[in-house]
């Protein structure tokens, strides 16, 4: 089993930045792709960004140029640097990691005030 723990969420003004972290623990032997998703109130969960074990990245169109996903394989940790935040970025952000199957974290709240 893999456990994921997100951190770094909080309240920020529009235009500000936040850096989310997600550390994987448990039985880790071949951690593959990792990703960030988000879910805003009343909306479906959506993919924010993914990163492969080789650090290839992809982003949802609305996050390109503002968000950056990265990972530290030695620490089994994935990061999401979020810049130029907008009120519509307000959501619970979830980390996910793949090792035979996808595992999910509990989420961290990000609130962007206008």
**25-56 tens-digit pLDDT:** 999 988 999 999 999 999 999 999 999 999 99
Closest Cα partner for 48 from 100, 77, 85?
Answer: 85
Q: Tell me the pLDDT tens digit for each residue of 93-111.
A: 999 999 999 999 999 999 9
77-82 β-sheet, strand order: 2-7, 18-26, 77-82, 67-72
């Amino acid at each position: 089993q893999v456990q994921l723990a997100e951190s770094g969420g909080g309240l920020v003004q529009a235009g500000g930045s936040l850096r989310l972290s997600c550390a994987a623990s448990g039985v880790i032997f071949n951690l593959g792709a990792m990703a960030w998703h988000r879910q805003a109130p009343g909306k479906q969960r959506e993919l924010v960004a993914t990163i492969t074990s080789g650090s290839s990245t992809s982003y949802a169109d609305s996050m390109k140029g503002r968000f950056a996903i990265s990972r530290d394989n030695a620490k089994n940790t994935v990061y999401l640097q979020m810049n130029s935040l907008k009120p519509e970025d307000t959501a619970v952000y979830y980390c996910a990691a793949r090792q035979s199957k996808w595992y999910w974290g509990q989420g961290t709240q990000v609130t962007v005030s206008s």
